[in-house]
Amino acid sequence: MKKRELRRADFITSVLLLAFSAWILIETFKMPAKDTYGGVQNVWYVSPALFPLIISIFIIILGTVLLVHSIQSDGASYFFSSILKRTKFASEKNIRFLSILLALFSFIYLNIPRIDFFISTALFLIFFISAFYFDEINLLKKLTLFYFIGSLIFIILFAFGISKILNSYYKYFIDILALVFYISYVIYNWIKVKNNHIYKKRLIVSLMASLAVPLILCPIFRYSFLIPLPKEGLIIQMMHNIYYFLKRVI
C-alpha cells in the first residue's frame, strides 16, 4: 500500500477502532462490577469487567493517537476527497479478492455443513484452482459468475427448506445435485477453454487435483486418525462400504 493510501486506511481504521472500543466499553458496563453474581459479592478488582475495561481504554487511546496521526498526515482529507471521486471498483485485484472470498465462504459456510465432505472439497478445489490457474481475468470473471449462480441456487435450496423435502425422497439428493453442479462446472469450463491447448492442460490438472486431494485426505482422516468428517454423505458412505468390504475380505 502506498503511504497516502495507508494514511487514508489509518483514518478509517482509527474511526472503526474508536467505535469498536466504545462498544466494548458499553458491553463492559453491563458486566457485574460491584453487585452479586452467582451468589458471590463482587468487588471491582475481581470483576470480569476489569480486563475488557483496560483493553477498551488502551484501544481508545491508541485509536485516538492513530486518528490524530492520520489527520496530520492528510489521511482524512485524502479519504474525504476520494469519496467524492469515482474510483474504479472492478479492478483485477478486487475481482480476484472477491473470487477468493466466494470460494472460501461457499466452502465453509454453505457446503461443509450440508454437503458430503468429499464433494464439497472437490467443488471448492475445482473452482479455486481452475479460476486462478488460467490467469486470465475474463475467464476468472465468467467462472466466478457461474460458480456464484450455482452457489446461489444451493442457498435458495437450503434457506427455504427445499433441500429437506428433496432429501426426504432420497437421502443423498442434495449430494447428487452438488455432483451435478461439479460436472456442469467442468463442462462449462471445458467449453470456455477448448480452443486453447495450454488452458485445456491446466483444466485437466485442476480436475485431477480436485479429485486427488479429497481422495487422499478423506481416508487418512477418517480411517487413520479416526476423525468423523463434517458431513458424511454419498461419497463418504461409498467409501465406508468399500473400506469395510475390503476389511472383511482381507
Q: Which is nearer to other proteins, 52 or 71 (CB)?
A: 52
Residues that bind other proteins (CB under 8 A): 1, 6, 9-10, 13, 17, 24, 27, 31-32, 37-38, 40, 42-48, 50-52, 54-55, 58-59, 62-63, 65-66, 69, 93, 96-97, 100-101, 103-105, 107-109, 112-113, 121, 124-125, 128-129, 132-133, 135, 205-206, 209, 213-214, 217, 221, 225, 227-228, 230
Percent helix, strand and coil across the chain, each rounded to 5?
Answer: 80, 0, 20
Q: Which is nearer to other proteins, 33 or 168 (CB)?
A: 33
Please give the span between the terminal C-alpha atoms of the chain, in angstroms, as a whole number. 60
Rounded to a whole number of angstroms, the minimum distance from the CB of residue 207 to other proteins is 12
Rounded to a whole number of angstroms, the minimum distance from the CB of residue 245 to other proteins is 25
What does the DSSP assignment read for 184-240?
Answer: HHHHHHHHHHTT-HHHHHHHHHHHHHHHHHHHHHHHIIIIIS-PPPS---HHHHHHH
- Looking at residue 170, the DSSP 8-state letter turns out to be S
186: closest CA among 210, 163, 218, 165?
A: 210
Q: Which is nearer to other proteins, 179 or 218 (CB)?
A: 218
Rounded to a whole number of angstroms, the minimum distance from the CB of residue 36 to other proteins is 11
